[in-house]
Structure 1
Amino acid sequence: MQHCFTYGSLMCEDIMAAVSGTRCSFVAASLDGYRRQPVLGQAYPGMVSAARAGVQGVLYLDLPASAWPRLDRFEGEEYERRQVVVRLQDGRVETAWTYVFRPECAGRLVDGEWDFERFLRAGKASFTAQYVGFDDRAGDKSA
C-alpha cells in the first residue's frame, strides 16, 4: 500500500475512484518545490519542478497495488510517476507517488496557475464525460 498525491482532476474523489478502481481515505496535503499549470487546450493541469513554489492537493492513503497500473495508464505519456515528500495540514510529512509533467512535454504548459475551483465550476462535467471509459483508450489526463 502506497500513498498518491494528486493536484488536478484526481483531487475529485469520484474521478479518483473511477480511475483507480478503489475508494481510499484522503487528506489535504501540499508539495513544495513544484508548480501546477494549465495544459494547452485541456481542462487538466501539469505539474513541474519549480524553486520557491508549492502545490496544494489531496493525498490518497494506502492505495492497493491494483490501482497503480490503472493510474499509470490514465496519466499517459505526458506524465511520469515520481516519489515525493508531502506535508499534511498538521505538519506531518508523508512519502507519496505523484505524476509530474515530462520535461519534453513542457511546451504544452500555459503560463499561470491552474485553478481547481474553476475546474469544478466549468470543466469537471465535460472532463468526466470525455474520459468516462478511459479503460478502453490509451489513457491520459492529470493527477
Structure 2
Amino acid sequence: MISETTRRRVERAERLSLDHGGVLSRDQLRSLGIERGVTARLVRDRRWAAWGRHSVVTHCAEVELVGACWRAVHEVGGGALVDGVSALRAAGVSGLDGVGPSWRRSSPTSSTERTRSGSSTSPRCAADVVCPSPRGRSS
C-alpha cells in the first residue's frame, strides 16, 4: 500500500503524462517527488511500464506516436529534437508515406526497430513548435 501523498504524486504524474503521449522520463518523475522505488513498484505491479533506460509509460494502453517520440527525446537526452520528415509528420503533414526513415515499435517493453515504412511523429518540431497531443486529434 502506498501513502496518500505518494498516491497524489502518482496521479499528478499520470495527468501530466497525458500531454506527452503517456510517457515521462525518470527525471521528470523524480522532480514530481516519485522516488525510484515507487516507479519500480508500479512497473512491477504492471500499472506502468519501463520503456528504455530513461522512459516510463504511465498507463497500460497502447502508446501513441507522440509518446514514442517523447521516449526518443528522453533516451537521447540533452536538447534533442526531431527534425525533417518526422517533424513534418508531428505537425500533421500527411502524404509522406515512403519518404525518409521512420520507426516501428511493437510495445513499450520491446526494442525499437528502424524500418523503411510506417510513420513517426515528434512531441517537438525543429522550430520548437509544440505539436498537438493525440488527445486533440480525431481518429
Structure with a larger share of its residues in strand: 1
- Fold match, TM over 0.5? no
Normalised to the residue count of structure 1, the TM-score between the two structures is 0.25
Normalised to the residue count of structure 2, the TM-score between the two structures is 0.25
Structure with a larger share of its residues in helix: 2
Q: Which has the higher contact order (CA 8 A, sep 6+)?
A: 1
Structure of larger gyration radius:
2
